[in-house]
Structure 1
Amino acid sequence: MIAEKKGLLKAWFFLICAIVFEVLGTSFLKMKNVILGYFFMAMFIAFSYFFLSKAITKIQIGIAYAIWELLGVILILLVSFIVFKENLTLTQILGIVCSIAGIIMINIGEIKE
């Protein structure tokens, strides 16, 4: 039982790593040096998919992917707002709120075995 919980905790750690690397990779697309930006983007996205593949060994793929995408989008929007001084529109904020509600509903509806 304890080993199973450790495995699940490890899977959630891998999912968080996947999200962080996705955000890093996407953020590098704004580099002025396009070739270098693409290089770092590809490297970080590859790390992201590696960690996502590790996470789905214990987390349902639908749940993991939904959380990966949602938190990735939210963090990328925050990076664009804070680092790149871009604006968030009301529509984007509403979309984030709806996405969060959707992920919560998906997780509540998950069938426990």
Structure 2
Amino acid sequence: MFMEKRELFKAWFFLICAIVFEVLGTSFLKMENIVLGYFFMAVFIGFSYFFLSKAIKKIQVGIAYAVWELLGVILILLVSFIIFKEILTLTQILGIVCAIAGIILINIGEVRE
């Protein structure tokens, strides 16, 4: 039982790493030096997929992908708002809230093996 929880915790840690690397990679696309931006984007997205592949060993692929995609989008929106001074509209904020509610419902409904 303890080992199973430890493995699940490790899988969620890998998923969080995948999300962070995805956000880093996407953020580098805003660099003025396009070649360097693409290089760092490719490296970080590669790490993201590596960690995602580790996460789906213990987390259902649909759940992992949904969480990865949603949290990645939310973090990218926050990065664009805080670092790049882009504006979030009320509609975008409402969409984020709905997406978070959806992910919560998906996780609640996950069938555990």
TM range (shorter): over 0.9
**One-letter amino acid matched to 1:73:** V
Runs of 4+ residues deviating >3 angstroms: none
Match of 1:70 in 2: 70
Match of 1:43 in 2: 43
Question: Equivalents in 2 of 1:112, 1:29: separation in Å?
Answer: 38
**One-letter amino acid matched to 1:6:** R
**One-letter amino acid matched to 1:40:** F
**One-letter amino acid matched to 1:13:** F
Gapped runs of 5+ residues in structure 2? none
Question: Equivalents in 1 of 2:108, 2:8: separation in Å?
Answer: 17
Alignment TM-score, normalising by the size of structure 2: 0.98
Question: Equivalents in 2 of 1:48, 1:37: separation in Å?
Answer: 16
Question: Equivalents in 2 of 1:91, 1:42: separation in Å?
Answer: 31
Question: Equivalents in 2 of 1:3, 1:25: separation in Å?
Answer: 33
Match of 2:110 in 1: 110
Gapped runs of 5+ residues in structure 1? none
Q: How many pairs does the alignment contain?
A: 113
Match of 1:3 in 2: 3
Cα distance per residue 1:13-72 (max 9 Å; x no partner): 000000000000000000000000000000000000000000000000011000001100
Match of 2:89 in 1: 89
CA offset at residue 91 of structure 1?
Answer: 1.1
Question: Equivalents in 1 of 2:54, 2:66: separation in Å?
Answer: 15
SS of the equivalent of 2:77 reads helix
Pairwise CA RMSD of aligned residues?
Answer: 0.7
Alignment TM-score, normalising by the size of structure 1: 0.98
CA offset at residue 112 of structure 1?
Answer: 2.5
**One-letter amino acid matched to 2:49:** Y
